[in-house]
Chains A and B, each alone.
Chain A
Amino acid sequence: MNKKFIVILSLWLLPILVHADDVANPEMAQLLQNDMQEYSRIATQTKQNVDYMPYIISAWSSNELSQLGVNTLREALSLVPGVDLSIGTVGTTVPIFRGSNPFAVGQSKLVIDGVVVNDKMTGGYNQFLDMPVAMIQRIEVVRGPGSLLSYVNGYSGSIHVITKANRDDGLAVDDEVFVELGSSEYKMAGFVTSYKDNEFSIASDLFYKVHDQELPVALDRYGNGGDSQQWLDNYNFGVNARYNDFSVKGRLSDRESGASYGQSFSLSEDESDYFDIENNYIEFGYSHDISKDIIIELSLGYMELYRRLQNKVVPDGATVQTPGGPVVLPNGKYFLAEIDEDTFYERIEFQVSALDSHHINFGVHAYQTEMAKKEGRSSTDVMQSFTSYDILIDTPRNMYSLYVDDLIDLSEQTSVQIGVKYDHYSDVESQASPRIALVHRYDNENIYKFMYTHSYREPSWREQYLAQPSFFSSTLDIQPEQVDAYELGYIRKIDLKSHIKINTYFLSNKEQIHAQNPTHTFQNSGDNNLYGYEIEYKNEIENNDQIYFNYSYVDGENVADQKANSARTMVKSYYIHKLNHAFSVSAIAKFVDEKGRIEVDLRDNVDSYTLFDLSANYQNLSAKIDINLSVKNIFDETYYLPSPENTYPDDFEQEGRSVLLTLRKKF
């Protein structure tokens, strides 16, 4: 009886047991597929799989940069292949990508946590370039037009900054404090902090820095020498919060500095002169999975930018040209500016992966910008009385953009990206920007890329709307700059941690905008072609050493049949050697070739230069403390960035040797 019962029971249970396996395991298989999707998403979002994406990208992590003693976004950009730095008005830094129009400010876009922060007045983003690396999780730099975000159109490049407070790799945000002390009374302190529970998370960051720097000037355009005031007083406060599908992110920033090389390229002896940009934004977001294959994203934002300037633009006793003839100004001339930009922006985007092998993004992006304030004042009696006027012709700029792109996996080895973006402006000719890119993974070691992109840069307000001639003048019916870019890339993965990347490009630039003419008038100044190549090599050796090297070459013309103000060749490299688990040393070497001038500028070329930085890093993993001591420009090389014609005859001398101490503590 018992035996019979056991046999019957076994026969009854067996299928149940077998079936139980079939039921439980498919659930696990589904979880496995979810994991695969999740890691693909994170890898794409955090550019872990950057080599397989249809762009030429360099990605840098904060940890890597910190070990090298690189402490600001500006300094990090100086390591990127093909990127050179130049100086614009009031000492603002202008990154130049692949030698493309060095006199245009907004050819590259800066995107912080998904928010484009280029201003409308100049197109620049200098106000964020002192952001400390300690606050940044990752920097991704796309060289060439297009952008990692469908709604952003870079012209020559785009810089994507992901702050630690907006960490997107699925890991918790570490609480962290950091302090930096350096030469010329440089001081900086800040923190990153976060809170998270199941449905709600919030993270915040803050830094405040001061720097009392002066740089020597031999002669300005009035024949005066002295020191340019480069002092800096800068803070930045950011918040990112998320509750279920809703998010809000905002940033308050203020960067006040000395007048540097001046608004109109003359040296001011008044040390109270200043240049202040306050830039604040807030963005509300909503992201929802409509279905397994469709995601909707909505965002609504507001950005304000206040620009304040006081600058003695003409020295005492100088002669200036007026419509009535030359006039001597015994007390010189002050120029004060108050320009406010208000921008509302909106975006709705759908991300669809419902069709086999297709990843489709489409959406609408719009902004409405107005010149909330555009007042200029000048004084020829040491600011006892002023003449007021509008700096800009009041022309609000509204834009809406329709975009769609589809990343199609033709096979496991080959994918194609096809996209187009149509931008309609209220005050500039509408533009369509098509793009087609192909990535072919011949095998796991050899990857090939081809990209064609058409893009444009809309004129900035100062290029289009200056109300009256001063140092610069503008052209009301100016046309956007346009580029057709053809890029080829090859990546050879030597092993898991070493690779060589080679890419070559041809840029057909049209309607280039600059003011390199006798009247300093911003105008479309013809077409030109640039071509070149870039090589990157990276290797980690026995877990103890890391080497990185890049070489870039660009030739052709960027200004009126000349290649001016940008280096033909650049070499940038670093080496990190771990002495043990706690100590490492590193070195950076940067070579920038000589730079030519525009045709009418008869000065000698700007000299080439080579800079070496050395750093020592101490890391205590258990105490979560990092200490870095770095000496920058260790050989105290005297080097110069180019000045425009008839301004500073001896160009802009840059900082010599400096020391920086950084302390970081995580909790």
Chain B
Amino acid sequence: MAVSYSRVVLLVVLIIFSSRAWTETYDPFLLRAEASIFPKIILLDKNLSIKAPENEVTITIVSTSQDDEAATQLMYLINDKYKNGLGDNKLKVNVTTFDIFKELPLATAYIVLQGSEDAYKKVTSYASSHNRIVFSYSYTDFIKKSLISMLVKEKTYIYLNKSAVQLYDIKFIPVFYEIIKIIE
């Protein structure tokens, strides 16, 4: 059966462009790195004692209902990594969705997965008004006013969203600013 390569190329191109809307998915390795790194950053907040009453750090992971699998996976990774606690603090991780995240008590920090701009900004607005860190899965969500994200490339980079710093008004210990990259 001789099939010309141009037909094969055409077939593949048709498959690509007839596909449904593209959305983003989650890199297991990046989730693993974030599960390890994000909680440590929480401890660098100078005012942590106010946000972690009775030495209990609470992290709430917010996602769409479609991404609950990734959110749950991230929760498992954090719980596994910090099963003996986070520093001298107890650690509690919740998973919720954009629709109902306010039903949970105010958390020490939020990790927000992919979501629409409106839904996302409800979380960043709520968290920033209470001076709580919002970590985003992707630094591309800095446009939605998350505060911190990270990327693993040839090195590991932690990014701080310059345009959101004043909004959150969170003070980190000085050494933190030596580690991270400030971007807009």
Chain A residues with CB under 8 Å of chain B are: 21-22, 24-26, 28-29, 31-33, 35-37, 39-40, 42-44, 46, 48-49, 51-53, 169, 409, 412, 415, 439, 441, 444, 494-498, 537, 539-543, 545, 547, 549, 551, 569, 571, 573, 575, 589, 591, 593, 607-610, 635, 637
- With an 8 A cutoff between CB atoms, is B11 at the interface? yes
Q: How many A-B residue pairs have CB under 8 A?
A: 140
Q: Which of B37-45, B90-98, B99-107, B162-170 contacts A (4 or more CB under 8 A)?
A: B37-45
Nearest chain A residue, comparing its CB with the CB of B151? A444
Q: How far is the CB of B109 from chain A (nearest CB, A)?
A: 14
Q: Which of B116-124, B125-133, B175-183 contacts A (4 or more CB under 8 A)?
A: B175-183
Q: How far is the CB of A635 from chain B (nearest CB, A)?
A: 5
Within 8 A of A (CB), among B65-120: 66, 87-88
Within 8 A of A (CB), among B1-27: 1-5, 8-9, 11-12, 15-16, 19-27
Separation of A607 and B1 alpha carbons in the complex (Å): 10
Separation of A31 and B27 alpha carbons in the complex (Å): 23
Q: How far is the CB of A77 from chain B (nearest CB, A)?
A: 20
Cβ contacts A to B, 28 pairs, < 8 Å: A24-B88, A25-B44, A28-B43, A29-B176, A32-B40, A32-B44, A35-B40, A36-B155, A39-B37, A39-B152, A40-B155, A40-B156, A43-B152, A44-B154, A52-B154, A409-B154, A412-B181, A444-B140, A495-B22, A495-B24, A496-B24, A541-B22, A543-B23, A543-B25, A549-B12, A591-B3, A591-B8, A593-B5
B19 touches A569 (CB 8 A): no
**Set A43, A494, A571, A635: member contacting B12, Cβ < 8 A:** A571
- With an 8 A cutoff between CB atoms, is B139 at the interface? yes
Q: Which residues does chain A contribute within 8 Å of B5, judged by CB atoms?
A: 569, 571, 591, 593, 608, 610
Of the listed residues B11, B23, B27, the one surrounded by the most CB atoms of chain A closer than 10 A to its CB is: B23
Q: How far is the CB of A361 from chain B (nearest CB, A)?
A: 15
Contact with A along B138-159 (1 / 0, CB 8 A): 1110000000000111111110
**Set B1, B156, B173: member contacting A25, Cβ < 8 A:** B173
- With an 8 A cutoff between CB atoms, is B55 at the interface? no
B36 touches A39 (CB 8 A): yes
Nearest chain A residue, comparing its CB with the CB of B67? A543
Separation of A412 and B154 alpha carbons in the complex (Å): 10
B152 touches A497 (CB 8 A): no
Q: How far is the CB of A449 from chain B (nearest CB, A)?
A: 12
Separation of A415 and B179 alpha carbons in the complex (Å): 20
* CB within 8 Å for A31 and B40 given contacts A36-B179, A496-B25, A571-B9: yes
Q: Which residues does chain B contribute within 8 Å of A33, judged by CB atoms?
A: 179
A43 touches B16 (CB 8 A): no
B156 touches A26 (CB 8 A): no
**Set A24, A52, A496, A498: member contacting B153, Cβ < 8 A:** A52
Separation of A49 and B27 alpha carbons in the complex (Å): 12
Nearest chain B residue, comparing its CB with the CB of A574? B12
B175 touches A24 (CB 8 A): no
Q: How far is the CB of B159 from chain A (nearest CB, A)?
A: 10
Q: Which residues does chain A contribute within 8 Å of B88, judged by CB atoms?
A: 24
A49 touches B154 (CB 8 A): yes
B154 touches A40 (CB 8 A): yes
* CB within 8 Å for A29 and B22 given contacts A43-B29, A569-B5: no
Q: Which residues does chain A contribute within 8 Å of B155, judged by CB atoms?
A: 36, 40, 409
Chain B: residues with Cβ within 8 Å of the partner, total of 49
B40 touches A28 (CB 8 A): yes
- With an 8 A cutoff between CB atoms, is B52 at the interface? no
* CB within 8 Å for A39 and B19 given contacts A25-B43, A540-B25, A551-B9: no
**Set B2, B37, B157: member contacting A35, Cβ < 8 A:** B37
Q: A25-B173, A441-B153, A496-B138 are in contact. List 14 more A-B contacts (CB 8 A).
A: A21-B46, A24-B88, A25-B175, A28-B40, A28-B43, A32-B179, A33-B179, A44-B154, A52-B153, A53-B154, A547-B19, A591-B3, A609-B2, A610-B5
B175 touches A571 (CB 8 A): no
Separation of A26 and B178 alpha carbons in the complex (Å): 12
B152 touches A541 (CB 8 A): no
A24 touches B41 (CB 8 A): no
A610 touches B1 (CB 8 A): yes
**Set B32, B37, B153, B181: member contacting A32, Cβ < 8 A:** B37
Q: How far is the CB of A149 from chain B (nearest CB, A)?
A: 17
A575 touches B15 (CB 8 A): yes
Q: How far is the CB of B117 from chain A (nearest CB, A)?
A: 15
B1 touches A635 (CB 8 A): yes
Q: Which residues does chain B contribute within 8 Å of A28, judged by CB atoms?
A: 40, 43-44, 87
B25 touches A497 (CB 8 A): yes
Nearest chain A residue, comparing its CB with the CB of B45? A25
Nearest chain A residue, comparing its CB with the CB of B139? A444
A610 touches B3 (CB 8 A): yes
B173 touches A26 (CB 8 A): yes
A573 touches B1 (CB 8 A): no
Q: How far is the CB of A569 from chain B (nearest CB, A)?
A: 6
Q: How far is the CB of A236 from chain B (nearest CB, A)?
A: 28
A496 touches B1 (CB 8 A): no
* CB within 8 Å for A589 and B12 given contacts A28-B43, A608-B2: yes
Separation of A439 and B153 alpha carbons in the complex (Å): 12
Nearest chain A residue, comparing its CB with the CB of B138? A496
Separation of A439 and B155 alpha carbons in the complex (Å): 13
* CB within 8 Å for A637 and B1 given contacts A39-B33, A498-B22: yes
Q: How far is the CB of B88 from chain A (nearest CB, A)?
A: 7
* CB within 8 Å for A29 and B154 given contacts A24-B88, A497-B24: no
Q: How far is the CB of A40 from chain B (nearest CB, A)?
A: 5
Q: How far is the CB of B6 from chain A (nearest CB, A)?
A: 10
B19 touches A545 (CB 8 A): yes
Separation of A53 and B154 alpha carbons in the complex (Å): 7
Separation of A412 and B151 alpha carbons in the complex (Å): 13
Q: How far is the CB of B85 from chain A (nearest CB, A)?
A: 13
Q: Which residues does chain B contribute within 8 Å of A497, judged by CB atoms?
A: 24-25, 27
Q: Kindly list the 8 A-B residue pairs having the minimum CB-CB distance in the complex, ordered from nearest.
A: A36-B156, A52-B154, A610-B3, A39-B33, A32-B40, A591-B8, A29-B175, A496-B24
Separation of A441 and B4 alpha carbons in the complex (Å): 37
Separation of A39 and B31 alpha carbons in the complex (Å): 11
* CB within 8 Å for A547 and B139 given contacts A28-B40, A35-B37, A496-B24: no
Q: How far is the CB of A32 from chain B (nearest CB, A)?
A: 4
* CB within 8 Å for A541 and B19 given contacts A24-B87, A28-B44: yes
Q: Which residues does chain B contribute within 8 Å of A589, judged by CB atoms?
A: 8, 11-12
B40 touches A541 (CB 8 A): no
Separation of A33 and B46 alpha carbons in the complex (Å): 18
Q: Which residues does chain A contribute within 8 Å of B21, judged by CB atoms?
A: 542
Q: Which residues does chain B contribute within 8 Å of A549, judged by CB atoms?
A: 12, 16
Q: Which residues does chain B contribute within 8 Å of A439, judged by CB atoms?
A: 154
Separation of A36 and B36 alpha carbons in the complex (Å): 9
Q: Which residues does chain A contribute within 8 Å of B87, judged by CB atoms?
A: 24, 28
Q: Which residues does chain A contribute within 8 Å of B181, judged by CB atoms?
A: 412
A542 touches B154 (CB 8 A): no
Separation of A609 and B176 alpha carbons in the complex (Å): 58
Separation of A551 and B8 alpha carbons in the complex (Å): 11
Q: How far is the CB of A616 from chain B (nearest CB, A)?
A: 18
B41 touches A32 (CB 8 A): yes
Separation of A33 and B180 alpha carbons in the complex (Å): 10
Separation of A593 and B181 alpha carbons in the complex (Å): 48
B173 touches A29 (CB 8 A): yes
Separation of A543 and B15 alpha carbons in the complex (Å): 16
Nearest chain B residue, comparing its CB with the CB of A610? B3
**Set A44, A444, A539: member contacting B22, Cβ < 8 A:** A539
Q: How far is the CB of A418 from chain B (nearest CB, A)?
A: 16
Q: Which residues does chain A contribute within 8 Å of B140, judged by CB atoms?
A: 444, 496
